[in-house]
Amino acid sequence: MTPSMTTQKFPNKTNPAHYHFEDVACYQCGSKKSQYFLTGEEDLTGKEGYFNYVRCENCNLVYQNPRIAADQIKSFYDSEYIAHRKKTNWGILTPLYERAMSKHDRDKDALVSRYVKITSETKVLDVGCAVGTFLLHLKKKYGAKISGVDFKEDLSFPGFEQIDFHCGLFYEQKLEPESFDLVTMWHFLEHCYSPPQSLKKAAQVVKKGGKVIIEVPRLDSLTYKVFQEKWPGVQAPQHTVLFDKESLISMAQKNGLKVIDYLPYGAFPAYFYIFAGTYFKTLGKGLNLNRAIAPYFLGQLLLAPLLAFEKKLNLSMQTIICERTE
Ligand SMILES: [Zn+2]
């Protein structure tokens, strides 16, 4: 690949010799001209490395460049990354944890149900479904027909076999065009190595009048302003793109989707970003959930008065509701 034309030099931080990086042009406009934006680290699990993000000089999209090579990114999605979703024993905090996890799926349900009436006839595709708890919730509550895609192979969870599961890259899947009433992407697009292709694929597989609902972290949010390179939404190197409101909407529009509604929040709890950002900034990287879980719930209780206004404060997330253009 040709060298990128990043005009400002990256900070000189060394990475492990076995990491491979590749230069990428802007996902949105193809320009190779960019300015240094920030350096992120793997704060969640504490793995080694420094990952640079740039801002496109042409269209303002912020993206990881150079990015870690596609064949190496899988090692950053190891068991530590999703194990917490499978872990069932949190001691005396188990009921609180279980309630928080099922609340997340119920909050996703409440959000999508404002736009799609889910019944036993509704065909739902969750892109980046992980262990599939959201889909299983929809099946249990409504009898919905559930399909999921994830590039992770060794997923397992009680009930997972009820999902019509497709393993691999979303845009490479053989899926019937115009076959889904609802396509959801909960924190998938910012991980994707080709977001425009995924958006085009979503536009292709959703029925006319069906909805594509996409939630990602919001760069132009309050928590980013506070935490900057320690903002949990950086989540390097898994996050390839850091979307602000404008870039999310315009990328969807350029790839076959019409944005019919915009929400300055999502189903993912903004509080997690407040907690994790504070943790990364003060204690450093590597979030030890075993130790953090009690302070997590305590903090949530203390911040409850603030979090009651979560939907109005532009704290950390954003969601677009889309239909296919034609
Ligand atoms: Zn661009």
Pick from 52, 75, 98: which residue ends a domain? 75
pLDDT of 1 above 70? no
249 and 102 together in one domain: yes
The CA 218 to ligand 1 mean position distance, Å, reads 18
pLDDT of 3 above 50? no
Rounded distance, CA 50 to CA 14, Å?
7
The CA 195 to ligand 1 mean position distance, Å, reads 13
Rounded distance, CA 202 to CA 221, Å?
26
* 202 CB-contact burial (10 Å; exposed 0-12 / middle 13-18 / buried 19+): buried
Residues 246/288, Cβ–Cβ less than 8 Å: no
Residues 318/215, Cβ–Cβ less than 8 Å: yes
In the chain, what is the straight-line distance between the N-terminal and C-terminal CA atoms, in Å?
A: 36
CA 254 to chain centre: 20
Residue pLDDT, tens place only, 200-257: 999 999 999 999 999 999 999 999 999 999 999 999 999 999 999 999 999 999 999 9
Please give the structure tokens belonging to residue 175.
């899926």
The CA 249 to ligand 1 mean position distance, Å, reads 14
Query: By mean pLDDT, which of 75-79, 180-184, 314-318 is the weakest?
Result: 75-79
Concatenating the DSSP letter of every residue in 223-266 gives HHHHHGGG-TTT-TTT--EE--HHHHHHHHHHTTEEEEEEES--
CATH number of the domain where residue 152 is located: 3.40.50.150
The CA 131 to ligand 1 mean position distance, Å, reads 34
Query: By mean pLDDT, which of 71-80, 247-256, 274-283 is the weakest?
Result: 71-80
160 and 268 together in one domain: yes
pLDDT of 86 above 80? no
Residue 34 main-chain phi, psi, to 5 deg: -150, 165
* Order of all β-strands in the sheet with 51-56: 5-6, 33-40, 51-56, 62-64, 241-242
The CA 36 to ligand 1 mean position distance, Å, reads 14
The whole-model pTM stands at 0.91
48 and 128 together in one domain: no
User: Domain span at residue 315?
Assistant: 76-324
The CA 55 to ligand 1 mean position distance, Å, reads 8
Query: By mean pLDDT, which of 162-166, 276-280, 292-296 is the weakest?
Result: 292-296
Domain count of the chain? 2
* 190 CB-contact burial (10 Å; exposed 0-12 / middle 13-18 / buried 19+): buried
Residue pLDDT, tens place only, 28-63: 999 999 999 999 998 888 888 999 999 999 999 999
The CA 124 to ligand 1 mean position distance, Å, reads 32
CA 269 to chain centre: 13
Amino acid 87: pLDDT: 65
> pLDDT category, 301, cuts 50, 70, 90?
confident
Residues 87/162, Cβ–Cβ less than 8 Å: no
300 and 283 together in one domain: yes
Q: What is the mean pLDDT of residues 296-303?
A: 85
> For all residues of the chain together, what is the average pLDDT?
90
103 and 182 together in one domain: yes
Tell me how many degrees the CA angle 98-99-101 measures, rounded to the nearest 5.
Answer: 65
38 and 117 together in one domain: no
Pick from 75, 102, 128: which residue ends a domain? 75
The CA 44 to ligand 1 mean position distance, Å, reads 28
> Which residue carries 């790839």 as its tokens?
255
Pick from 47, 75, 103: which residue ends a domain? 75
115 and 174 together in one domain: yes
Q: Smallest Cα–Cα separation from 185: which of 212, 211, 203? A: 212
